[in-house]
Structure 1
Amino acid sequence: MKADPTRQLRLLELQSLDTTLTQLNHRAKSLPEHAEIASLRTALEELDSAVVRTSTERGDLQREVRKADNDVQLVRDRAERDRKRLEAGVGSAKDLQGLQHELESLARRQAVLEDAELEVMERAETAESAAEQAQEQHMQTEQRLAELQSRREALIADLESQRAEVASGRAELVEAVGADLVALYDRIRAHSGTAAAALVRRSCGGCNMELGAVELGRIAEADDDEVLRCEDCGRILVRTPESGV
């Protein structure tokens, strides 16, 4: 295969652009925002469950508080009616004595119910705090997630802009180098990752192996436009003023 020296030198430019494209692709895939967003999405799912759980518990306890309050109020109302009857003195002594005993019993019952109501109210207050905390954490996580997603989109857009610019330059180089040489370059690159390397001070810039005297002699005698390959790594050797041959 033949190619003029100018085209071969441009292979090094092409290699540089391809390396840049690889780096841009890697940066796009390895943005720390990817992991942070995935972590926040997982946390948000857990917080969704926490919000539902704490809200349900809060609702259940609020109903318990209302029931406990109703139970206490029923006893208070009954005691108030009995107290009025007792104060009115209507009925026999036995009836009045029975009302007095019932008032005492209602007072004890009211004390028990009020203690129970107080305990439920304390639990309801704790549940209310837990529900509010879960909702606050959920809101903050959503905001943080939105911020990260917006930042990631901006970073990816910037990287895509850089990729487009590099890809445009690559397309121009591909046209200048020619289809035959680019085809060989692409085949080697698909296998080795890099396809072209400068011959610098008698060593291959790809594998850094120093060429032997016989190989250097062959290169020195080769036509300027001959495409050379490194015997060790198979990359296209591009001769430069620093090749030493």
Structure 2
Amino acid sequence: MLAEPADQQKLLNLADLDAEMGRLQHTARSLPQHQRIAELMAERQSVADSLVEATTIVDDLGVALRRAEADLVPVRARLERDRTRVGDGSISDGKTLKGLIDEVARLERRVNELEDAEFEVMARLEDAESTAKEMSARRDEIEATLRDEVGIRDQKVKGLSTEAQGVTAARKGVASTVPPALLVMYDKIRAQRGLAAAKLHRGRCTGCQLEITVADLDSYRKAPANQVLRCVECDRILVRTADSGL
């Protein structure tokens, strides 16, 4: 392909702008906030699951505590009645009195058992409520941190987007001055290799960083100034400059 040297030089400007755009896109994708946000979202889900579990346990233990308290009410009432009967002297029959005293002892043991069970449920409920409170506080802490990280990310992305818009506008301006056929070639190579045009600098392709052979340098030297050169190693467009070594 033939193109004026000045037009070939424009390809280097395009390559610089495309490289800058690539850098901006890479920076946007590689922001540390992306990973931090993902970690926080995963932790938030884990804490939310733990909070649901803890809340369920609290609810279940609340039901168990009310049941334990309800079980104690009739036993305590009966124990109080029997103690009153034993103490008021209303029972004169010795055998009946002994049976009632034995019943009082049995009821006292039963009350102790039920109270122990109640205390155990109360202790478990206290632990579960503490866990639920901790999970709730941790969830709120994660939410606050997540909002901060999202805000930082969005601010950085906005700044990079503004820069990218400037690069896009500059590229559009340069591309509009490049001959269509040359631009098509450039864009095709860029789609395949990323970097489409590179300087021929002191006998080296700055695209693949390989030295050009003596024979190839000789052919480049003999080529007309308006002939578009291609690197024999990476197939990128080679743009000649004063430092090409030709």
Give the Cα separation in 1 of the matches to 2:128 and 2:240: 77
3-state secondary structure, aligned to 1:177: coil
CA shift, 1:206, in A, is 1.6
- Give the alignment's TM-score, normalised by structure 1: 0.90
Query: Once the two structures are superposed, what CA deviation does each residue of 1:198-230 show, in whole Å capped at 9, x if it has no partner?
Result: 111122222233333443333334333322222
Q: Judge which range, 12-21 or 140-149, deviates more.
A: 140-149
- The answer to whether structure 1 residue 28 and structure 2 residue 31 are counterparts is no
Unaligned 5+ runs, structure 1: none
Aligned counterpart, 2:41: 41
Following TM superposition, by how much is the alpha carbon of 1:91 offset from its aligned partner in structure 2, in angstroms? 4.3
Shift of 1:108: 1.7
Amino acid at match of 1:39: E
Could you tell me which residue of structure 2 aligns to residue 160 of structure 1? 161
Determine the structure 1 residue equivalent to 2:59. 59
Residue 176 of structure 1 aligns to a residue in which SS? coil
Partner of 1:131: 132
1:46-92 CA-to-partner distances (Å, cap 9, x unmatched) read 22221111111111112212222232233222222233334433344
Q: Contact 1:2 / 1:227 at 8 angstroms: preserved in 2?
A: yes
What are the equivalent positions in structure 2 for 1:42-121 lying under 5 Å apart?
A: 42-94=42-94, 95-121=96-122
Task: Check conservation: 1:89, 1:96, Cα contact below 8 A.
Answer: no
The within-5 A match list for 1:191-210 is: 191-210=192-211
Aligned pairs, number: 245
Which runs of 5 or more residues in structure 2 are unaligned?
A: none
| CA-CA distance at 1:192 after TM superposition | 2.0
1:12: which partner in 2?
Answer: 12
Look up the equivalent residue of 1:134 and give its one-letter code: M
Shift in Å at residue 19 of structure 1? 0.9
1:236 deviates by 1.3
Tell me the distance in 2 between the aligned counterparts of 1:82 and 1:168. Answer: 96
Q: 1:84-114 CA deviation, whole Å, 9 max, x = no partner? A: 3344333443554443333222222111211
Task: Give the whole-Å Cα distance in 1 for the aligned partners of 2:212 and 2:121.
Answer: 87
Q: Take 2:146 and 2:73, find their aligned partners in 1: how far apart are those partners?
A: 48
Tell me how far apart the structure 2 counterparts of residues 160 and 236 of structure 1 sit (CA, whole Å): 29
Structure 1 residues 101 and 213, CA, compared in 2 at 3 Å: closer, same or farther? closer
SS of match in other structure, 1:238:
strand
How far has the Cα of 1:166 moved from its partner?
Answer: 0.8
Residue 4 of structure 2 aligns with an amino acid whose one-letter code is D
2:224 corresponding residue in structure 1: 223
2:149 corresponds to: 148
The code of the aligned residue for 1:201 comes to R
CA gap 1:235/1:96 in 2 versus in 1, 3 angstroms: same
Deviation at 1:157, TM superposition (A): 1.4
Give the CA deviation at 1:184: 0.8
* Separation in 1, partners of 2:13, 2:217: 24
Provide TM-score, normalisation by structure 2.
0.89
Is the partner of 1:209 in helix, strand or coil?
Answer: coil
User: Matches of 1:201 and 1:189 in 2, distance apart?
Assistant: 23
Percent identity reads 39
Segment of structure 1 superposing worse, 72-81 or 3-12? 72-81
Corresponding letter in the other structure for 2:128? A
Q: Compute the RMSD of aligned alpha carbons.
A: 2.0
Structure 2 counterpart of 1:38, one-letter code? A
* Offset from partner CA, 1:9-45 (integer Å, 9 cap, x none): 1211110111111122222222222222222222222
- Counterpart CA distance in 1 for 2:210 and 2:81 is 107
- Kindly provide the amino acid, as one letter, of the partner of residue 230 in structure 1: C
